[in-house]
Structure 1
Amino acid sequence: MLALIFGAMIYATLLSLVLLSFIGLPLLLIGLLIPACRRRMRRQPLHFAALAVVCVIFVVCTLWKIHSDDQLGKALHPELEQDVQLDGLPLPAGAKLNLGTLEPLDSQGQPQPHGLRSLYYAKFAAPHTINGVEVTELQMYGSGPFSKMLLSRDQVVAGWPCAGGTWVTLDIADEDRLQPSRWRFSSCTLVTGADVAGVKWPSSSEVSQYDGRFSIDTIGLASPAVVIQGIALSDLSLDLDERRQPGRWNGQLAQDLTLGDWHYPRGMRVRQDTPGTLMFSPSKSDSAQNLRTGETLNAGRSIQQRREGGAVLWVKPNTGLGVLDW
């Protein structure tokens, strides 16, 4: 804490001296033009000379620092004048780049990627093809699913119909940064109306990959409602296996639904864990009702029914079912 306070005091002192120097040096020069001030300076030449030297030193050092930072900024943000091939990554002329560092050694004295090899952002003057995908921007931030490409148009990426003007997220290991053929698909926004796994997905739906499996999720309330197995939902999350075959899903009803003797209002949470069954989970704001007996099912319990016929398989507390009460 003391070190931070001491550092802040030094910084504030230096900043004050710089500001005073930029003010003081012009005032001294102006004083030389005024007879009364000039006579006073002649009476105390050493005093004013020392003051002028200090001002000049601070002004020159500050201007040199500004110039150095500007030169470094230009070096770290070049615009390519000709095509460049970085291992497996082609970069076209006109691309505007952001580089991480120009230093060949890191703070521990170890070799590190530098110059063009420390590239972490590129903006292309025209759509540019990387690994068969047309993009306008590329971002590479660290190892893992943090890198992105901005699609120039609707196109198929890793077998998924991804929307133009949106980002494709990539999982890139540090050693594969300049090898696009080794980049792994992580997620993208689907083309509006794309038919995937028997569902027509609304705008802003996103497909993601994790450990070889996939999930597709609507982002926000679906408009129009997304329909799966004849059920209209205001939001939907669908899991797919390694072969991209649909599995479990969950969402919220976009309209009232009656299944067997039970009636479920709009907004009711619904989930399919196994084919042919549906599980409904009331929240504090809505409840299910048995139309035959008048029984109600409130928050804290869930009911599972067969999709065909609506036979009730069980009614259980949410504990252990992976259902949050809200």
Structure 2
Amino acid sequence: MVAALYASHFILIYPYGIFSIRMPLFNPADSTSHAITLEGVVFPAGSKVEFQKESLWTEHPVSAVAPHPINAGSLRIRSLDKQRDSTLSVGLATAQSIEGWTCSAAQPAYFSVGRGANGGPSTWRLSSCRLIDGVRQAGSSWPAGTIVSRTIENSIEKWLVSWPGNSASPETWCNETLTVDGYKLSSFFGSYDKQHRLETWDGTACRRRANGQDDYVRIEKLGPHRFKETKVSAVD
């Protein structure tokens, strides 16, 4: 008999035939009786861990949920899920400051992983997280639903802060709950440098005309003290 593993099937080859046994790529999460290590983080016994099979005999953990908050470097976390692109989805135990941004525990924070040189420990870098509501950072107090994410523009690393806000429907266009550079806005998308200094942004707001009609406008910050307003629509 010859055995071979192909993707999610285990193949048994006998002299008198070939048989295929379907094998799941992932085992369902189950509580472990011993500690396991995932991306350098030790999850204690009692954690719910999901494993991915590498063969019929070997498997490795890909996600884990701890029974209580644990340490992951300087972070306090509850869960860790390794995505297919090697991004880490991390359930924070509490709101906490990460690379100068106060990230909420209401949604997972995402990290890219840098492998250490010569087999050294890996490093986590914040990719994106939801900012905690109402805390002033980078010059503004951010409403619920604001997301910060790391990006590269023209080979320069930057931060993008996005708040889709109240721009979804005409009924909320004039609900301006964020103030940036003295403008009251109903949505905001801004670019910040590595030191969290605001460079450019665009957002939406309302402008009241002399006849009492509101115009829905787009406002763009093009540079220091340079702003541009463009009418998008009249607000009924």
TM-score by length of 1: 0.54
- 8 Å CA contact 2:176–2:185 kept in 1: the answer is no
**Residue of structure 1 in register with 2:159 after alignment:** 214
* 1:268 and 2:217 are equivalent in the alignment: yes
Gaps of 5+ in 2: 1-20, 168-174
* 1:249 and 2:193 are equivalent in the alignment: no
Hey, which of these two has a bigger chunk of strand by percent?
2
**Residue of structure 2 in register with 1:129 after alignment:** 71
* 1:166 and 2:118 are equivalent in the alignment: no
* 1:115 and 2:59 are equivalent in the alignment: yes
Structure 2 distance, partners of 1:79, 1:170, is 25
Cα deviation digits, residues 12-54 of structure 1 (max 9, x gap)? xxxxxxxxxxxxxxxxxxxxxxxxxxxxxxxxxxxxxxxxxxx
CA 280–87 in structure 1, closer or farther in 2 if over 3 Å, else same:
closer
- 8 Å CA contact 2:93–2:105 kept in 1: the answer is yes
CA 87–286 in structure 1, closer or farther in 2 if over 3 Å, else same:
closer
Q: Which amino acid in structure 1 is aligned with residue 234 of structure 2?
A: D
**Residue of structure 1 in register with 2:234 after alignment:** 286
- 8 Å CA contact 1:85–1:91 kept in 2: the answer is yes
CA-CA distance at 1:279 after TM superposition: 0.7
| Count of aligned positions | 202
| 2:31 counterpart SS class | coil
CA 87–229 in structure 1, closer or farther in 2 if over 3 Å, else same:
closer
CA 264–200 in structure 1, closer or farther in 2 if over 3 Å, else same:
farther
Cα deviation digits, residues 167-211 of structure 1 (max 9, x gap)? 1011136x57x9874122100000101212211110110111013
Hey, which of these two has a bigger chunk of helix by percent?
1
1:1-326 equivalences under 5 Å are 77-85=29-37, 88-103=40-55, 114-116=58-60, 119-143=61-85, 146-172=87-113, 181-211=122-152, 212-221=157-166, 225-253=177-205, 255-256=206-207, 265-283=214-232, 285-286=233-234
Structure 1 distance, partners of 2:234, 2:140, is 27
- 8 Å CA contact 2:165–2:188 kept in 1: the answer is no
User: How many percent of aligned residue pairs carry the same amino acid?
Assistant: 20
Gaps of 5+ in 1: 1-64, 106-113, 288-326
CA-CA distance at 1:233 after TM superposition: 0.3
CA-CA distance at 1:95 after TM superposition: 1.0
Structure possessing the higher radius of gyration over alpha carbons = 1
Structure 1 distance, partners of 2:120, 2:72, is 10
